[in-house]
């Protein structure tokens, strides 16, 4: 069972393979997911301090490039917990003043995940 550390909240055991955004929510943290977990809004953004995955979905890469966030944050709706990681959630409902965090993300990574090593995506 992977260990997930959420800066400012604690360290938790999380289900292997769980989407990171859902794992963070499951730990009681009010992370945003305003597009419902489909790599469109970037409100599920997290900063990694440990265990950043070496792979990325095409959808995550394209959105981070578009918003000029590549190298700064990752999208937790596009990551699964398959190893220990430590993250800081950057946009919380309670801090942003939203009435809700957004539609509930599906259990599986959406859009259907096409994974690539990060370095294979750069510049493509
Ligand atoms: S990009 Fe919208 S929830 Fe992840």
Q: Is 112 exposed, middle or buried (0-12, 13-18, 19+ CB in 10 A)?
A: exposed
Q: Where are the domains of the chain?
A: 3-98+108-121
- Cα 120 to middle of ligand 1, angstroms: 22
From the CB of 89, is ligand 1 less than 6 Å away? no
Domain 3-98+108-121 belongs in CATH node 3.10.20.30? yes
From the CB of 46, is ligand 1 less than 6 Å away? no
From the CB of 42, is ligand 1 less than 6 Å away? yes
What residues contact 20, with CB distance under 8 A and at least 6 apart? 4, 46, 76, 77, 79, 80, 81, 85, 87
Note the pLDDT tens digit of each residue in 37-87: 999 999 999 999 999 999 999 999 999 999 999 999 999 999 999 999 999
Note the pLDDT tens digit of each residue in 2-39: 999 999 999 999 999 999 999 999 999 999 999 999 99
Confidence (pTM): 0.95
Structural tokens at position 103? 């539609």
pLDDT of residue 26: 97
């Amino acid at each position: 069972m992977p260990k997930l550390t959420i800066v400012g909240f604690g360290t938790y055991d999380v289900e292997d393979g769980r989407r990171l955004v859902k794992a963070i929510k499951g730990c009681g943290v009010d992370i945003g997911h305003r597009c419902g977990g489909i790599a469109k809004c970037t409100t599920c953004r997290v900063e990694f301090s440990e265990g950043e995955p070496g792979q990325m979905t095409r959808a995550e890469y394209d959105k981070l490039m578009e918003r000029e966030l590549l190298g700064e944050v990752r999208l937790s709706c596009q990551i699964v917990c398959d190893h220990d990681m430590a993250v800081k959630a950057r946009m919380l409902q309670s801090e942003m003043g939203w009435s809700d965090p957004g539609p509930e993300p599906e259990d599986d990574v959406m859009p259907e995940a096409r994974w690539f090593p990060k370095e294979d995506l750069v510049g493509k």
